[in-house]
Amino acid sequence: LAGGVSFNGLSDDTLFVLAHILKHENLSLKEVSRTTSLPLGLCRNSVKVCLERELLYKDERNRYMVDLKHQYIIIKHLKSKNFIYGN
């Protein structure tokens, strides 16, 4: 449990989805599927899990973005798993 956030049991696909949403700042579900080349159903499930764990936030336009209160710990975790690179 890092910073009140649990990454336990998250699949690589879910981390991949999370990394893509972080990289693009905000995406719709269809955009998540298109940018990751993963099936829409898998993306929907990954986004649902991330929303339940407060890793993602959904705005009024149905766009998903990394929850700001956990952004630092999410970036740190994704870097440690080599899903994102750089600063």
What is the C-alpha R_g of the chain?
12
The confidence score (pLDDT) of residue 1 equals 53
Res 9 pLDDT > 80? yes
pLDDT tens-digit map of 30-86: 999 999 999 999 999 999 999 999 999 999 999 999 988 999 999 999 999 999 987
- With 0.85 as the threshold, say if the pTM is over it: yes
User: Residue 15 — very low, low, confident or very high, per pLDDT cuts 50/70/90?
Assistant: very high
Q: How far is CA 54 from the centre of its chain?
A: 10
Token pair listed for 21? 């949403």
pLDDT confidence bin for 3, thresholds 50/70/90: low
